[in-house]
Amino acid sequence: MAEKATMADFDYMEKIQKGGVHPKMRAILIDWLVDVHLKFKLLPESLFLTVNLIDRFLSKEKVGKEKLQLVGVTCMLIASKYEEIYAPIVSDFVYITDNAYSKEEILRMERKVISILNFELQITSSLRFLERLQRVLSVDPLFLNLSKYFLELAQVDFNMLQHSPSMQATSALYLSLKMAKVNKNWIEPLLSTFTHDEQEIRGCAKQMFVLFTKAKTSNLQAVRKKYSMPKFNEVALIQVDSASQEKKEVSQGTI
């Protein structure tokens, strides 16, 4: 499947980054980039492409912890050039890093990232797959925003890399509709759109639900703060206690 060609290796932390970058450092970087993305008012797709470029680069090149932020802002610069009509300029990224890196360092890293990725910048992200599902099922904006929240929480968590973008999108919408207790005539078209196994979807949805329940007490709050805004229907403020049945279903592995 074409999407697998632009997925990062799930085991790259052990194979490539051992002794250097680790999942917690990656999570801190992505959480910060969510804030940067919001400050720059970039398109949603730019964030997903940024994360994809970071992971694919780290899958091929060992990076010292002192250069991880440089890789992050450089990948956002590249993603912005690819996705945006008016992309931030290099000096904007110098400023956002509090001059930790120079314009020249960012430009050198840009050349390196593009070269190592062999100029392969086009991807189909989980966001695009979600938009396809939304059109098939005519999903209410509330459920769409809740699904997007799950997907962005998944961007921060390294373990979610084991799931393909289409699997993440399907699982996010599956979980949203399950939590809302919508009548189940959506299940068949949801499962058939990308032909994923329902058991696999439940497993991925379970991981997303755990991220959702832990988000309130997490040290990384950028995604939760973003989706607490009215423009996103304040979906991050949904109380987990009101989803006690879903918690029971998750613990039983039936969600």
The residue-averaged pLDDT of 37-45 equals 97
Q: Residue 120 class from Cβ within 10 Å (0-12 exposed, 13-18 middle, 19+ buried)? A: exposed
Which is it for the CA torsion 147, 151, 157, 163, positive or negative? positive
Share of the chain above pLDDT 90, in %: 73
Write the single-letter amino acid at 246. Answer: E
CB 170 within 8 A of CB 209: no
> Measured in whole angstroms, how far is the alpha carbon of residue 63 from the centre of its chain?
21
C-beta atoms surrounding 118 within 10 Å: 8
Q: What is the predicted pLDDT for the residue at 249? A: 52
Interior angle at CA 107, CA 106 and CA 110, nearest 5: 85
pTM attached to this predicted model: 0.91
Domains 2-116 and 126-251 share a fold: yes
- 122 vs 48, more confident: 48
Tell me, what's the pLDDT at 193?
82
Task: Please name the CATH architecture into which domain 126-251 falls.
Answer: Orthogonal Bundle (1.10)
Alpha-carbon span 156 to 222, nearest angstrom: 10
- Least confident residue range of 85-89, 137-141, 206-210, 213-217: 137-141
CATH 3.90.105.10 fits 2-116, yes or no: no
> Which among 5, 7, 1 has a CA at the least distance from the CA of 165?
7
With bands split at pLDDT 50, 70 and 90, how would you rate the model's confidence at 252?
very low
Radius of gyration for the alpha carbons in the chain, expressed in angstroms and rounded? 18
List the one residue out of 229, 225, 235 whose CA is nearest residue 35: 225
Domains of the chain, by residue range, sit at: 2-116, 126-251
- What's the pLDDT band for 192 if we cut at 50, 70, 90? confident
